[in-house]
Amino acid sequence: MRTNTERESSRRTSGSRSRARRAALGLVLAPAIALASSHREAPAISNDPAADNTDLYAWTSEDRATLYIIANWIPFEEPAGGPNFHRFSDDVRYEIHVTRGAESLEDAVVFRFEFTTRPIQQVDPADLEAPPGGGKEFFAQLAGAFDQTFRLTRVTRGANGEAVETVLVEEGLVASPRIGPRTQQVANQLGLAPFTSATYDDAFAATFARDLEGVTGGRVWVGPRDDPFYADLGGIFDLGNLRQAGQAQDGLSGFNVHSIALQLPVESVTADGQRPTAPGNDALIGLWASSSRRAVSTMNADGTTTTSGDWVQVSRIGLPLVNEVLIGYQDKDRYNRTTPQDDFERFGAYVLNPVLVRDAEAVGIYDAIGIDPAPLRSNRTDIVDAVNLRNVPTEGAHTIANEATGDVLRIDLATPTGFPNGRPLDPGTDQEQTDVTDALLSLILTGGQAPISDGVDRNDKAFLGEFPFLALPWQGFDEGHGRAPGGDDGGGGGTPTPSTSSAR
């Protein structure tokens, strides 16, 4: 995803950071970054993990012919968390939104995912001769508990403003959790869905990819994967007790998320159905993901729930770390309930006058790093410029009005992808194209004058070189976070030793 020039520039930039300075920055960063990402960014959504957006990635292929989107949900999935392993909720509407141009943040296209878990087969408990898989099992994987499907609908805005719905996948199968080798072998021998292979490997996971009806070259993949985000959460939430690279610990290491990956021809998201050739406002799209629940949920006497009423948004994400780092604690739930169209009016002051800067100044960080905080406290149009790609790829190429500024991941479809123009992964490596935690903290706290790092510079697994790009989920049997007696790892790779590299 990066050119050789970009890679070399990245190496030179990283190499210029001295280990001593990074250590000093980490030690003084204290409460200033106590809102760094933990995938539990707001009080209300922390009680509803099945609906919690964790991350959003999007980028174009090198020839700008294909758009890739990866949206993740459900933070901190413990691989060994059975028997009711994590899954998408049948009561949540999961959506990926696409906006067009520089004048509006209204939805132009929405990809809507709705899930259905088939009822477990009911068998008379007295029938002790019923074979495994009969619905009265001790093990969820033998009871058919993972037979979940999804329906993907594309919603487009018609000429008269009305929504036009097109089903792209009627009944796609969600990938199963990666429980362990015996589950794969036995469930496969018994012919239980969705364990169609005796081993859980990349080839097996790839069988869950589905072509999109009527979209040539379009594909979708849905299911659990390794969480690709990384940050020293333990240090951050101990009042910013951060460590330098080699000592910092990735608090998200060994955890899974549930992912939706889309592969789309660029022409399928543009207004005229053509691939843009010139960068600028007409080539811009914006991406964000959301979760919604019905307004009314009733618990029935038999333990089931009945939902009704309008759909109410409960979570969203566009650019990384906006709600975590920029929005004040008292407004985080409100932020999750609103849309990007309202961001400038309701939350613009948080971007132009970052709370993070005032907190950093209060605890003496600017004295320690020798930067004058006065110009960083207010009127931070540099942050707005970065969000709006006003200097990408050339000065004046994008002229997004403040009223059309919001938390969307913008991509100029005619420009090579590079953060903040999209958020690409680096296929075949354990790195994003940009360490967004470091990049955004450096931008917000110093205006780019000095590097700020949390000490964690890479993911705990390498990404795949092809769709759906995210690494396989961690396996519950031997890659969970348990420990054998005496404190040794219980055979798991779920919490690997932090990297000793001081730079990416």
Q: What values do phi and psi take at 406, rounded to 5?
A: -165, 175
Using a 10 angstrom Cβ sphere, with 0-12 exposed, 13-18 middle and 19 or more buried, the burial of residue 489 is: middle
- pLDDT in the model for residue 119: 84
Residue 161 and residue 155: Cα distance in Å, rounded? 12
Query: How far is CA 422 from its chain centroid?
Result: 13
- pLDDT in the model for residue 10: 40
- pLDDT in the model for residue 52: 96
Residue 334 and residue 249: Cα distance in Å, rounded? 31
- pLDDT in the model for residue 43: 85
Q: What values do phi and psi take at 363, rounded to 5?
A: -100, 10
Query: pTM for the full model?
Result: 0.88
Give every CB contact of residue 482 below 8 A, 6+ residues apart in sequence. Answer: 80, 490, 492
Residue 377 and residue 375: Cα distance in Å, rounded? 6
CA dist list (Å): 220 to 49, 87, 156, 208, 224: 23, 17, 18, 9, 13
CA dist list (Å): 447 to 28, 77, 163: 18, 35, 42
Residue 293 and residue 315: Cα distance in Å, rounded? 10
Least Cα distance to 501 among 230, 198, 100 occurs for 230
Three-state DSSP at 303 gives coil
What is the identity of the amino acid at 454?
D
Contact criterion met (CB below 8 Å) for 22 and 245: yes
Crossing angle of helices 355-362 and 436-446, rounded to 10°: 70
3-state secondary structure 383-402: HHHHHCCCCCCCCCCCCCCH
Three-state DSSP at 56 gives strand
The separation between the first and the last C-alpha atoms of the chain, rounded to the nearest angstrom, is 16
Least Cα distance to 256 among 96, 85, 457 occurs for 85
414: tokens are 């005619």
496: tokens are 């690997």
- pLDDT in the model for residue 240: 57
What is the identity of the amino acid at 358?
R
Residues facing 67 on adjacent strands? 60, 264
Torsion angle defined by CA atoms of residues 232, 330, 76 and 236, in that order, rounded to the nearest 10 degrees: 10
3-state secondary structure 186-253: HHHHCCCCCCCCCCCCHHHHHCCCEECCCCCCCEEEEEEEECCCCCCHHHHCCCCCCCCCCCCCCCCC
Question: What pLDDT tens digit does each residue of the chain (504 aa) get?
Answer: 444 433 333 433 333 333 333 333 333 333 333 333 447 888 899 999 999 999 999 999 999 999 999 999 999 999 999 999 999 999 999 999 999 999 999 999 999 999 999 888 777 767 666 777 766 788 989 888 889 999 999 999 877 878 999 999 999 999 999 999 999 999 999 988 899 999 999 999 999 999 999 999 999 999 999 999 998 888 766 655 668 888 999 999 999 999 999 999 999 999 999 999 999 999 999 999 999 999 999 999 988 889 999 999 999 999 998 888 889 889 999 999 999 999 999 999 999 999 889 888 887 778 878 899 999 999 999 999 888 887 776 666 788 888 889 999 999 999 989 899 999 999 999 999 999 888 988 899 999 898 888 899 999 999 999 999 999 999 999 999 998 887 655 444 444 433 333 333
Three-state DSSP at 24 gives helix
